[in-house]
Amino acid sequence: MVEITTISVVFFMIDSFCLWKTQFEQSTFTMPSNWQITGAYSANRVYVCAGKSIVGGYGIVGAGSTIQGSFSNLPTHTTIKVQINVYYLQSWDEETASINVGGLVFYRMWDQNWGVNPICVTGIGKVFLETIQGSHSADTLQIIIATNLNENSYNESIGIREVYIYLKTPKCVQFYSECNYTGTMKEWCQGSPNLQRKNRPQQIKSIKLNCCGIVTLTKKGQGSITITENVPCLTEFDFPLVNNVN
């Protein structure tokens, strides 16, 4: 009997970044545990602005308040890009917001006279999709949004929704012969795949994708499985042990 197994790998990258995580995309949401507000003006953490939840905002985040998000277990990466829709609500008067993404700091000065729109029940505001990008390699990330507002959150406030975290990661997939990324490792990288017979995995028990790949394992007559996240121990696919002659 001849067993035929195929491995396919596809990398999905946008502008060389991969989208690692999104938060606050739903119309309405509750505050997740990885975000906190300090100096809040209310026990509420989410304000509903024109039918959409935002973190912070009117009656919650004003002078002296900060919004903080924490992330861990980021895959190996060299560069980060974070995009956040930031709501500058009500009577900002040449005041500045700072968005600190793992030490990369973006500033925007804003004034209500520079062009606000009626966006929430409480009146006026402006939404900007802010982009913060730069070198970053730590496996943890903190996002801190602060302001130098000088009035309470009923007069001037800030809120956020739609947080996108993009990473530049190695475009490589590692196949390991044993669980928990141990044993013999074979690596396939985009652009320079080494498909020589000796570089084919002989047995696959764990796979590291580094966030941006899709691996499909197909065994003739027995279907296929698709993998989009790191797999520490592959049990559902019986990858045949083969002897590589070269």
Binding site for Ca ion (CB under 5 A): 93, 150-151
Of residues 155 and 199, the one with the C-beta less far from Ca ion: 155
Please provide residue 89's backbone torsions phi and psi, each rounded to the nearest 5 degrees.
Answer: -105, 135
Of residues 46 and 149, the one with the C-beta less far from Ca ion: 149
In a 13 Å sphere around the CA of 37, the CA atoms on its Cβ side amount to 28
**Farthest CA pair distance, the chain:** 77
What gap in Å lies between CA 95 and CA 91, rounded to an integer?
10
- 22 alpha-carbon distance from chain centroid: 5
DSSP symbol at 231: B
Of residues 92 and 176, the one with the C-beta less far from Ca ion: 92
Of residues 124 and 214, the one with the C-beta less far from Ca ion: 124
Strand partners, 212: none
Of residues 151 and 162, the one with the C-beta less far from Ca ion: 151
Of residues 53 and 147, the one with the C-beta less far from Ca ion: 147
Return the exposure string of 151-173: e unless at least 16 CB atoms fall within 10 Å of the residue's CB, then b.
eebebbbbbbbbbbbbbbbbbbb
Please provide residue 197's backbone torsions phi and psi, each rounded to the nearest 5 degrees.
Answer: -55, -35
User: Least CB distance from residue 88 to Ca ion, whole Å?
Assistant: 12
DSSP symbol at 205: S
Q: Are 18 and 211 in contact (CB under 8 A)?
A: yes
